[in-house]
Amino acid sequence: MSRQISLTQYLIEQQREHGHIPQELRLLIEIVARACKRIAIAVNKGALGDVLGTAGSENVQGEVQKKLDIIANEVLIEANEWGGHLAAMASEEMDGIYVVPNRYPQGEYLLLFDPLDGSSNIDVNVSIGTIFSVLRKVGHSRGVAEEDFLQPGKQQAAAGYCVYGPQSMLVLTVGDGVAVFTLDRETGSWVLTQEQVRIPEDTKEFAINMSNMRHWAPPVKRYIDECLAGSTGPRGRDFNMRWVASMVADVHRILTRGGVFLYPWDQREPDKPGKLRLMYEANPMAFIVEQAGGAAVNGSERIMNLQPSKLHERVAVALGSKNEVERIAAYHREAAQK
């Protein structure tokens, strides 16, 4: 691009010329982006900043927290609580919602986030990220409760993620396509580097944790078996497999060159519909992927149509190139009819 466009300029143009976002939402996204910049700096310091290793605590899901999980969570809360654009926040790292304190003005938006996705990769210097989702508070009552957050993903006003890798990148949608910004470390600005990202409808690449194969449901095993059979199998072409174990990194690759990402239900915990969190991970990623021309399902249903019943609800996920995701959904529907 001959003329560098900052995130602020991009958002102002979205607000002024296209009417896609109100001013309050624009300012909220800018604050989240500034918080992600602070997290990127902490991630880059690594051992020099004493941010590696575990914190000796567990989150609400019983997972061991890394030091950076807690730091990222605190950065996002501190950055957003005073801006006047939010009524409350919810985080994968907190049991309940965080209501904006009375000493600050309350806004009409709700912010949900996974402060540091892929934290198992922190200590081995592999790409990790922050995922966020913005909802409008339904109703005009002064109070805010957990129920206000329980909206299907199709109600999202905005969603995005930051990936902290060789470059720090911010991927954003406000419901009119997907834009990518790269952090210019010399100026401290998020600079627009790609607009209207499109995921190819077809692909020869899939991402799944193959070590769990024996635990999968038949439709998932059927799909992967067909991919592995390659050019001599029913698909008639060879597939490659990728797996980073960081949803942000895997989804970013799919946005860049296509592919399909699966984190399916498995029989080790049959009562849980999946591993990933609907509100903090699946919904925002589904919004981004759909806005880029892809698809996202929990097996047979569109993820963004699902009605959450609790804040930390889990869900199975298959997302990415549209035709492959539709094939996976068709296999699930066929299995359900048997």
Mean pLDDT for all residues in the chain: 92
- pLDDT of res. 1: 47
The Cα-based distances of 233 to 226, 229, 241, 271 in angstroms read 6, 5, 16, 34
280 DSSP 8-state letter: I
Percent of the chain with pLDDT over 90: 80
Q: Quick check: 56 pLDDT over 60?
A: no
**Token digits of residue 338:** 């048997």
- SS3 for 110? strand
Instruction: Name the residue ranges covered by the structural domains of the chain.
Output: 7-194, 205-337
DSSP code of 215?
A: G
8-22, 49-63, 214-228, 304-318: range with lowest mean pLDDT: 49-63
CA distances from 143 to 86, 91, 92, 152 (A): 12, 19, 22, 21
**Tokens 């190819």 appear where?**
200
The predicted pLDDT at position 334 comes to: 95
Give yes or no for a contact between 122 and 66, defined as CB atoms under 8 angstroms apart.
yes
Asked whether the beta carbons of 171 and 177 are under 8 A apart, the reply is: no
Helix, strand, or coil (residue 25): helix
Query: Can you say which residues are annotated as belonging to the binding site for substrate?
Result: 117-120, 209, 275
Sheet strand arrangement including 240-242: 240-242, 205-207, 260-263, 317-320, 295-297
Residue 5 to residue 13: CA distance in whole angstroms = 10
Backbone angles phi, psi at 247, to 5 degrees: -55, -40
* Average pLDDT value for residue range 249-267: 97
* CATH placement of domain 205-337: 3.40.190.80
Separation CA 325–CA 268 (nearest Å): 24
Cα separation, 178 vs 307, in Å, equals: 24
Binding residues, by number, are 92, 114, 116-120, 209, 275, 281
pTM for the whole structure: 0.94
* In the predicted structure, residue 72 carries a pLDDT above the cut 70: yes
| CA gap 333, 310 in Å, rounded | 26
- SS3 percent helix, strand, coil of the chain, rounded to 5, is 40, 25, 35
Tell me the binding residues for Mg(2+): 92, 114, 116-117, 281
Q: What is the pLDDT of residues 80-131, one digit of tens each?
A: 999 889 999 999 999 999 999 889 888 999 999 999 998 788 888 899 999 9
Out of 3.30.540.10, 2.102.10.10, 1.20.1740.10, 3.40.50.12160, the CATH code matching 7-194 is 3.30.540.10
pLDDT digits (tens, 9 = 90+) for 224-253: 999 999 999 999 999 999 999 999 999 999
